[in-house]
Structure 1
Amino acid sequence: MAQSLAWLGRSPGRYSPVQIARLHKFTSMLLEENGQQNLIASATVPFLWSRHILDSAQLVDLVPRGTSGEWVDLGTGAGFPGMICAILCPDLPFTLVEERRKRADWLKKAMNANGLENTTVHHGRLSTLARRNAAIISARAFASLPDTLAQASHIATPETWWLLPKGKSAAEELAQMGEQGAMFHVEHSCTNDNAGIIVGRTTMIDTGALR
């Protein structure tokens, strides 16, 4: 936890005491709820802050300066990375998509407990989410890169920024895209030397062709 808090505090004044307190409250709620439903694997509990909180928070640094508009997080699960980024980016509207009722209900509870007025939880499959022009789309352990682009094509525009933590498969997935992957690149994760995050826009890529 100390390493994660040091990372969050590396730029004095960037994150307020209220935001840090919300992260603590969220993690406390998550650990309590984890006894009722399997939000995170038990093996990752001792590494909660690095494995989940910091792993999510690092995406904020990958958003280009001046980006505005809605951030949609696909298959948010226990709130990673969507809920963490929503806490750290109070000026952006967030929509967290989660199809499992029990998890969606808990996410709403955590959202309300932390006073996240910038956040909405959408219970249902991604296909049931109304068309919109998302400024940012994130997804952690959601689907392959082509499938993610195809499934989310109705909420994206060529200007949408995609932030997709992929673990060890990032470079391989991007290579498999061939020329259509040219608008993306891999950023190294600060929590795992072997993990990568696919970042980019779908400018000039026909997402419909990926269906």
Structure 2
Amino acid sequence: MKHLDRLRTGSTRSRGTRGAFLFRNAFFRIDWPDEGADRSADEQLRLKTLLKLRREDEIWPFYQRTKYILVPKAVLQIGIHYVFEFVHSGINHKEVPADVALLHHYREWSGNNSGTLGVVDKEMLRFADPLRQSVRAVHRTLGLVDIKSRRRDIRRVEFSVVYSIGAAHTWDIRLIDRRLPRESNSKKTEMSRMLTHNPKVCGTAL
């Protein structure tokens, strides 16, 4: 109880009233055609984020399909799409406008716009060159020279990307199949170290 009282009275005093930043969601349909600027390179690297440049025309409203970045000390209870309860009533969400930051959600989706081809959104192309370079660096670290010939040896990497002006990326990496050769254990260790110490190292759906 003493810890809870301390949270309620003073934990966010230096951070103001914002306990979480809320980002609106847009669906980029992976069942729609590829149309990136450099399709050959991006297909080889399997970069869905650069191949899928069409999204549904609806940007979902706040508190529906949203994701957020929170101040841990400011919250008591969280949900999937928004914070359920902050430590006191003076703390709230900051709703980030879609023209400042937007959640790109890549998936097959039979919801709205299922019969149309949506709208073109090329925002991810701003990050195309550093993204390709980072993915190639990861492939070199893992010894994956020919991606197509060895794709069965690699498990799928699932991820969601929130991009913003700061271009921050968080990657959920679940990577190597046991069928890779023993010497790749050291490469896996090196990969983990890269991801831990360099958050700008990027992942891709393989």
TM-score exceeds 0.5 = no
Q: TM-score range by the shorter chain?
A: under 0.3
Structure with higher helix content = 1
TM-score, normalised with respect to structure 2: 0.26
Higher relative contact order (CA 8 A, sep 6+): 2
